[in-house]
Structure 1
C-alpha cells in the first residue's frame, strides 16, 4: 500500500473480465509513480476477481461489494475509498497514456484556482486500435473561467469535456458537491464536471491523455433515445441555473447542435460494430482454415 499517494486512480469494475487487465496495466505503467490504484469490484460474477488476484503491486487495492450497487453509488464508493487529494475515475475498459498522471498532476497542483483538468482522448475499438485521435476540447484548450466553460457546454449540445478517463479533480471538491448524482445515467459524468466547476476554473490539455473504448456492447446505449433525452434535460437544467448566466443565444445554439453531436457519436459506435464483425469473420476464417 502506498503510504501518502498524491493521486488516486479509481476503477469501478463490473463484469470487466475482457479489458480489465489492459486497463490496470496502463495505470501501473505510469511515469508518475506516487499514486494508488483502487478497484471496486461491483459483485462481478465473471473472472473479474480472478484477474485482480493476478496483479501483485503494492499500489493496487481491491474492494469488493457484497451486492451489485447502482452505477452512481458504485462510482461514489470508488472515490470514497480513495486516500489521495487528487482523483481520476477510469472505466474498466479504458486506457491511460503513460504520462497522463504526470501531465495532469503538474497542471492541477500548480494552480489552486483550478477545479478540473481534462485532456483530449483517443477513441479505440474493441481491439484497442485507434478510430479517432485527439478528440474533444475544441475551443477549450488552456485555462478558462468556469462560467465560460459551462456556457460552451450548453452551446455544444453534448459533452465537450470528455469521459472520466480524461479528467482529474480534487477529492475535497468532489465531496463538497456531493459526488455523482444518481438522477442521471448517461450524462452522469458531465453533470459532475459542471458541479465541480462551481468550485474553480477549468484547464484543457492539448495532449491526448486517455483512450476511450467504443464497443459493440455499448451501441444500444449510443442509439437509445433515452440517453439523448437525458442529455437535453441536463443541458436545460444547467442553462436554467442563474449563477451560470447562460444567454438565450447559447441555449438556441445548443439545441441546434445537439442532433449533430449525437449523430457524430453514433457514427463511431456503428463503425466499431462493423470493425468488430470483420474481426469476428477473420477469426472464424482462421479457425476454419488454419495455416499448415
Structure 2
C-alpha cells in the first residue's frame, strides 16, 4: 500500500532470471507509461548475473524490487510475481519485452469501468535483439479485435492453431480471477500464457484493442525457438481440453480445423525465429567487421 493508504489501480510485475541484457530497457518502458497510477514489482529469481543490481539502480518510488532466496521454476516465479502485486488489475511483462508508453492508458480504463471483462489484450510488435521490429502489429487475428465472449475466443483460438491473443505483456487481467483460476500452470511451460487466458475467460468477456501496445522479443536462445515440438504438443492438449470441457460452446468442427491448423501455426513460429536468427547473424558479422577495422588502425 502506498503512502496515504491508497492502492494503485494497476500492478505491472517483471519476473527476471539472468536478464541483465534487456532488464533496464524493459523497466524504462514501464516507467515511461502515460498512465501514472501504477506500481512496478520486479521479482529477481536469485540470478547469477547483474539483474539485482540493475533492478535496484532505479530510484522511482513506484518500483518495488523483491528477491527469491532460491531459484524457482518459471511457473513458480511467475505466480509469486503476481502474488506480490497489490492492485486489482495486473500485467506481467517478461524481462526482455517492452510496453508502448500508452499501453496502460488504453487498457486499464476498460477493465476498471466494465466488471464483465476478464481480459483486455492488444496487438504487439515482434522485435529482435536490437529492439528492431521484425514483424509489426502481430496478434488479435481471426477477428479478435473488439468485444467477444469466452466461447467466441475459444473457437477462434482453436481454429488459429497458435496463440492469437499474445504473450503476457500485451494482456491485462484481474488479480482476483487469477487466484480463482489457479494461476500459471507449471505443467504448461510452453503455453502458460494461452492456457491461463482460456481459464480466465470462464469468468468474463474479452476485449481486443486495435492499437499495438507491446513488443515481444525473439532472441537467440529464446525458449520458444528451441522447443517447437513441445509447444505443438501442449497446444494440441489445450485444443482437446477446450473441445471436451463443456465450459465453452466449441463445436467438433472447430477442433478438427484446429488440428489441421496446428502445423501452420508451427510453421509461422519457425519462420519468425528464422528471421530473428538471420538478423542476429548480420549483427554479428557487422560487429566483427567493425572490430577488425578498429584493430587495423
* TM bracket (short chain): over 0.9
What is the CA–CA distance in structure 2 between the aligned matches of 1:204 and 1:220, rounded to whole Å? 24
- Residues 125 and 272, structure 1, Cα contact 8 Å, conserved in 2: yes
Which residue number in structure 2 is paired with residue 156 of structure 1? Answer: 160
Where 1:283 maps in the other structure, the secondary structure is helix
* Counterpart among 44, 47, 56 of residue 44 in structure 1: 47
What is the CA–CA distance in structure 1 between the aligned matches of 2:246 and 2:270, rounded to whole Å? 32
Which residue number in structure 2 is paired with residue 22 of structure 1? Answer: 25
* Counterpart among 173, 177, 180 of residue 176 in structure 1: 180
Which residue number in structure 1 is paired with residue 286 of structure 2? Answer: 282
**Does the alignment pair 1:145 with 2:149?**
yes
Number of residues of Structure 1 aligned to a counterpart in Structure 2: 292
Which residue number in structure 1 is paired with residue 78 of structure 2? Answer: 75
Deviation sequence 1:226-271 (CA, Å, 0-9, x none) = 2211111122112211121311100111111111111111111111
- Residues 11 and 91, structure 1, Cα contact 8 Å, conserved in 2: yes
Structure 2: any 5+ residue segments left out of the alignment? none
What is the CA–CA distance in structure 1 between the aligned matches of 2:223 and 2:19, rounded to whole Å? 17
**Does the alignment pair 1:233 with 2:237?**
yes
TM-score w.r.t. length of structure 2: 0.95
Which residue number in structure 1 is paired with residue 222 of structure 2? Answer: 218
Deviation sequence 1:134-188 (CA, Å, 0-9, x none) = 1111101000011111111111111111000010011111111111112211011
Which range moved further: 47-56 or 17-26?
47-56
Which residue number in structure 2 is paired with residue 63 of structure 1? Answer: 66
TM-score w.r.t. length of structure 1: 0.97
- Residues 222 and 265, structure 1, Cα contact 8 Å, conserved in 2: no
Deviation sequence 1:68-93 (CA, Å, 0-9, x none) = 11111100000000000100010000
* Counterpart among 135, 148, 157 of residue 138 in structure 2: 135
* Counterpart among 90, 97, 106 of residue 100 in structure 2: 97
- Residues 228 and 266, structure 2, Cα contact 8 Å, conserved in 1: no
Deviation sequence 1:185-228 (CA, Å, 0-9, x none) = 10111110001001100000100010000001117745531221
CA shift for structure 1 position 46? 0.4
Question: RMSD between aligned alpha carbons?
Answer: 1.4
* Counterpart among 190, 199, 202 of residue 203 in structure 2: 199
Structure 1: any 5+ residue segments left out of the alignment? none
What is the CA–CA distance in structure 2 between the aligned matches of 1:282 and 1:214, rounded to whole Å? 20
Which residue number in structure 1 is paired with residue 275 of structure 2? Answer: 271
- Residues 120 and 137, structure 1, Cα contact 8 Å, conserved in 2: yes
